[in-house]
Amino acid sequence: MKHPGLAALYVLSLLAPLLAQAEGHCVSDALDQSVCLAEPARRVVSLSPGATELLFSAGAGDRVVAVSAWSDYPAEAAELPQVGDSNRLDLEAIVSLAPDLVVAWVDGNSRSQLERLSGLGIPVFWLAPRTFDDIAVAVSDLAFLTGSPELGAERAEVFRAEMATLNAQYADARPVKVFYQIWDQPLMTVNRNELISKAITLCGGVNVFGDLPRLVPRISREAVLEANPEAIITAGSSDNRQWLEAWREFSGLAAVAADNLFLEPPDLLARPTLRMADGARHLCQTLEQARANL
Amino acid sequence: MTRLTTEALIIDIPGRASGVPLNLAIEPGQVWGVLGPNGVGKTTLLHTLAGLREPRSGQLLLDGTPLRDMRRKIVSQRMGLVFQDRQDGFPATALETALIGRHPWLSPWQMESGEDLAIAERALEALDVIHLKDRLVNTLSGGERQRVAIATLMTQSPEIWLLDEPTNHLDLQHQTAVMKLLRQQAACDRAVFMCLHDLNLAARWCDQILLLYPDGQACWGPARDMLVTSALESLFGQRLLSAELDGFPVFVPG
Amino acid sequence: MPISSPHKPLLVLLLAGFLAALLSVSIGSTTIGFEDTLRVITGSGTELQQTLILELRLPRTLSAFATGGLLAVAGALMQVLLRNPLADPYVLGLSGGAAVGALLAMLAGAAGFLVSGSAFAGAMLATLLVFGLAHGSGSWTPSRLLLTGVVVAAGWGAVITLILAMTPASRLPGMLYWLMGDLSHAATPWPGLIILVLVCLMVFPLGRALNVLARGSLQAAALGVSVRPLEWSIYLMASLLTATAVTMAGSVGFVGLVVPHMLRLVLGNDQRLILPACALAGGTLLVLADTLARVVIAPEQLPVGVITALIGVPTFLYLLYRSR
């Protein structure tokens, strides 16, 4: 989302309690559609793991009646009935649950499939968090739609404050050139629009592939050698450790020379949710370590 | 000099009774003609004689050695076959086509020599297709292809020549030329054994005849004895008139 | 044809292959001048340049060459085996089997050697499956083998779709790149190059027998070829070549179809010339295609299979259009 839209959402979320009094519970979503509920939703279906996590963060965990596959956080979410993979949803199962709110994900769900749900009169709220603030807004919006606006506003505020603290802490830190590897074969990274890259920037790092046009570009090993990052970071389980070890072959790399090959804990940075704050804090500590090694 | 004999040979045509076992002796110098209506098994017989098909029973002997005990390469040095149908899936020139006849005579690592090339060119010349040697076979007419196929057999130069309808697609002049060539080969102590559908060609050029009947009956012997109007009428189920011209019998439908 | 010196076209192709390889190691997402490239090859140059050229580009160029050569030779053999100039190495379902093996390994979270090994096992399983099914009863013809292979290939296709449908989205890119054919997987070029050279040496003495076989199995038998053993050995050899190529680079399309076809138009159909020419021309083509894949949107990368298909489809249609 670009800044004007973001600003609009932000303003809307602040005004939301007032608007609700005036014309029912209305919130504008990521598709700029206004979603209005006569009263807070009690039966919510989440159509992506990220949406599930945000719903639980918004205090609506007990109102979620079904989730999409791979919704594994928090642990309670994994126990809920599933309505299919995010890009192959079981519409019949969703409809038969008689939800009063469906939370969809712009980057995962099929627009045409969900139009059938809207057509059946089921309100669909679309999420597409592209910035840290989008995450905060999403939590407060979801909390608002599910009847706990105060809790949502508070959690959003805590998240914003945490990010602001990190930003202040590392604003003047020595810049570190970072290559963030998200896949090995083929070799893939992220550009500046991806939240992971924003977290790197927040911690005073510089994403060496930030300027590439695609969100998740596929690159060559030689491009990495030429960019000569000072730290190479990936996330995941210990299996991914071997991705990092493979770089040791190239002793000329600054990251290898300084032993700056880092494995971040899995999941914290993978989804645009409140856990991003923990992920970002961990990443910032990692970059501090990288600075010390240089 | 090679002779091919069959001992109580019954060719295998699925779903048909075995009929009369064949005890043929195909001797050097002989020109055999096989006559019979369509579907009687002339091609199957030819393929069986060449060792390309297992007979239902009986066996084939090449100079007294059972054919199935011999290596294919040795067999193909002594016996060759012109097929009725040919596959031209890949483009090849007439010369290349004739040259594959040298295959049985070369070891795996050997390339074709100038001599092999000369043999192939002589064969193309003998069949009057030398002017087409660089043309792709699939661009030639049916008759030209037929002559290239016979030239391939000539390049192979086996002692026993098996031919399936060698005069197919040929005009009158080339029919005669091919038949003359086959007789010449026989005169050089080779044996020629061919299926024909033209009674008069058989009468004019063959000295031995094998008649195959649809019910599995067969009879064979010198042409004079076999080419009897009544026998041929029952063979083809067609009334025939015959006359003698220049010492050879001639048959026309009556 | 056999008599006119077969060495000349092979020398030309060898030179082309060498130039393509030189081009391929001298360009990439990082620009290294031609003189610098030569300097690195002769043993000097900066450390970064040496790493880029000797450790990254050269193995990949050799892998591309091996893969292209393997596929083109396998394609030429399959075409003779099936007596069909439109056959390709994958027509009997080999790549499908390899893909199922590789994707299952990826689905289980494996990487590197396990994926390659699993792909090779899948390709060999596919080979044996088609062998067994086509071998089953007595009558055996190229069309029966072709039909068996095509149906088995369709079966693999369904299994591939099933695996893709069951895979979490995060693992999909690796799988899709594998299916499109991608040289970034190639670990080492040597097994492929060695098998390519060995098979070319093994095939050479069979070359004339293959020429005869191309005229049909009866004609070949009448000329002294032991048709059945020859057919099975070229089937197994083509399968080994294809399995090796697929293991290195996934299913790179069109090289195995177009290269033998184009060479036949130019050089005739003597397998003793065509097979080594396929090894050289197929290798050269894939080296060029991979170079394009690496530089078109550098530093981002395209899978090489996309490039071969983009080049291969119009070339093939043109040849087809011209031939009728």
Instruction: Compare CB distances from A183 to C55, C56, C174 and report the shortest one's residue.
Output: C174
Q: Are A242 and A168 in contact (CB under 8 A)?
A: no
Is the CB of residue C264 less than 8 Å away from at least one CB of chain A? Answer: no
Question: Confidence band (pLDDT; 50, 70, 90) for A97?
Answer: very high
What pLDDT shows up at residue C83?
A: 87
Which of C1, C206, C224 minimises the CB distance to B72? Answer: C224
CB distance C224–B76 less than 8 Å? yes
pTM assigned to the model: 0.84
Contact call for A183 and C173, based on CB within 8 A: yes
Q: What is the pLDDT of residue C1?
A: 43
Distance CA B58, CA B18 (A): 11
Rounded CA separation A281/A199 (Å) = 9
Nearest to C212 among B75, B100, B114 (CB): B100
Residue of A nearest to C106 (CA): A185
The answer to whether the beta carbons of residues A247 and A232 sit under 8 Å apart is yes
User: Among candidates A163, A88, A165, A95, which has minimal Cα distance to A129?
Assistant: A163
Phi, psi of A98 (to 5 degrees): 50, 60
Helix axes C271-295, C304-323, angle to 10 degrees: 130
For residue C54, what pLDDT band results from cuts at 50, 70 and 90? confident
Q: pLDDT confidence of A3, banded at 50, 70, 90?
A: low
C209 contacts on B by Cβ (under 8 Å): 103, 108
Chains A and C touch (3+ CB pairs under 8 A): yes
Mean pLDDT, 10 residues at a time, chain B of 254 residues: 92 87 94 93 94 92 92 93 84 91 91 93 95 91 94 95 94 94 95 94 94 90 92 90 88 88
Contact A105, A51 (CB under 8 A): yes
Q: Looking at the complex, does the CB of residue C75 fall below 8 Å from at least one CB of chain A? A: no
CB < 8 Å to A69, chain C: 168
pLDDT confidence tier of residue A14, bands split at 50, 70 and 90: low
Residue A66 phi, psi (nearest 5): -160, 155
Q: Pick from C280, C289, C246: which is nearest to C260 by CA?
A: C280
Partners of chain C (3+ Cβ pairs below 8 A): A, B
For C96-127, how does the pLDDT look when each residue is reduced to its tens digit (9 = 90+)? Answer: 999 999 999 988 877 778 888 899 999 989 98
Judged against a pLDDT cut of 90, whether residue A206 lies above it is answered with: yes
DSSP readout, C119-156?
HHHHHHHHHHHHHHHHHSSS---HHHHHHHHHHHHHHH
Beta bridge partners, A177, equal A206
- The pLDDT-based confidence of A211 (bands split at 50, 70, 90) is very high
How many Cβ atoms are within 10 Å of A89's Cβ, its own excluded? Answer: 24
Identity of the residue in A108, A222, A242 whose CB atom sits nearest the CB atom of C56: A222
- pLDDT, residue C309, reads 86
Q: Point out the least confidently predicted range of A124-128, A252-256, B130-134, C92-96.
A: C92-96
Instruction: Tell me the pLDDT band of C267, cut-offs 50, 70 and 90.
Output: confident
pLDDT-based confidence at residue A69 (cuts at 50, 70, 90): confident
Q: pLDDT grade, residue A15 (50/70/90)?
A: low
Report the length, in residues, of chain B.
Answer: 254
CB B46 within 8 A of CB B81: yes
Q: Identify the closest residue of chain C to B88 by CA–CA distance.
A: C215
- pLDDT given at position C71: 95
Q: From CA C227, how far away is CA C80, in angstroms rounded?
A: 12
Return contacts of C146-155, CB within 8 angstroms, 24+ apart: C146/C82, C146/C84, C146/C87, C146/C91, C146/C92, C148/C92, C149/C91, C149/C92, C149/C93, C150/C91, C150/C92, C150/C93, C152/C92, C152/C93, C152/C96, C152/C126, C153/C90, C153/C91, C153/C92, C153/C93, C153/C96, C155/C93, C155/C96
| Res C5: pLDDT | 60
Q: Which of C11-15, C83-87, C89-93 has the lowest mean pLDDT?
A: C83-87
Summarize pLDDT for C189-228 with one digit per residue, the tens: 999 999 999 998 988 889 999 999 998 888 999 999 998 8
Nearest to C149 by CA among C105, C94, C216: C94
Q: Does the beta-carbon distance from C51 to A88 stay under 8 Å?
A: no
Q: Which residue of C has its CA nearest to A184?
A: C174
Under an 8 A CB cutoff, do B93 and C215 touch?
no
pLDDT of residue C208: 92
H or E stretch at B81: strand B79-82
As given in the structure block, the two tokens for residue B191 are 């044996």
Inspect the interface and report whether the beta carbons of C299 and A188 lie closer than 8 Å.
no
Give the Cα separation of B90 and C260 in Å (integer): 12
Q: What pLDDT does residue C138 have? A: 57
CB atoms within 10 A of CB B28: 15
Residue of B nearest to C139 (CA): B53
Strands A25-28, A34-37: pairing is antiparallel
pLDDT band, very low/low/confident/very high, at C3 (cuts 50, 70, 90): very low
Name which residue leads in pLDDT, C319 or A82.
Answer: A82
| Share of residues in chain A with pLDDT > 70 (%) | 92
